[in-house]
Amino acid sequence: MTQNSADATVVIVAYRPKPGKRGELMQLLREHVPYLRSQGLATDRPVVLAEASDGAIVEVFEWAPGGVEKAHKHPGVGKLWERFFVTCDAVPLHTLAESSMQFAGFTPLDL
Q: Looking at residue 111, what is its pLDDT?
A: 80
The residue-averaged pLDDT of 43-53 equals 97
Q: The whole model's pTM is what?
A: 0.90
Topology of domain 9-97 in CATH is: Alpha-Beta Plaits (3.30.70)
Indicate the pLDDT class of residue 7, thresholds 50, 70 and 90. Answer: confident
H or E element that contains 88: strand 88-91
Using a pLDDT cut of 70, give the percent of the chain over it: 95
* Contact call for residues 42 and 36 (beta carbons, < 8 A): yes
67 half-sphere exposure, CB direction, 13 A CA radius: 25
| Statement: residue 1 has pLDDT above 70 | no
